[in-house]
Amino acid sequence: MVLIRKISILILLCFFSFPAIGKNKIDLQKVSLIDLHVYPEKYHEKTIHVVGYLSDIPLALYQSKEYSKLSIGGDSLMVLDDTRNGDLVASNCSENYVSLVGVIKLSEETKSNKKYYYIADVKSVKINDNNKLTYCYKKRSNQAK
**Could you list the residue range(s) of the whole structural domain that residue 123 is in?**
2-138
Residue 58 lies in a domain: yes
Averaged pLDDT for residues 134-143: 84
CATH no. for residue 99? 2.40.50.140
Model pLDDT for residues 20-44, shown as the tens digit of each residue = 344 445 688 999 999 998 999 999 9
Residue 9 lies in a domain: yes
Model pLDDT for residues 87-125, shown as the tens digit of each residue = 999 998 999 999 999 999 999 876 677 788 999 999 999
**Per-residue pLDDT, 25:** 54
Contact 100, 30 (CB under 8 A): no
DSSP string for 80-132? ---STT-HHHHTT-SSEEEEEEEEEEEPPP-TTS---EEEEEEEEEEEEETTE
Round to whole Å and give the CA distance between 138 and 43.
22
Residue 70 lies in a domain: yes
Residue 110 lies in a domain: yes
Residue 143 lies in a domain: no
Residue 28 lies in a domain: yes
**Per-residue pLDDT, 102:** 97
Looking at the structure of the chain, the number of domains it has is 1
Model pLDDT for residues 62-80, shown as the tens digit of each residue = 999 998 888 765 678 999 9
Residue 145 lies in a domain: no
Residue 8 has pLDDT above 60, yes or no: no
Residue 96 lies in a domain: yes
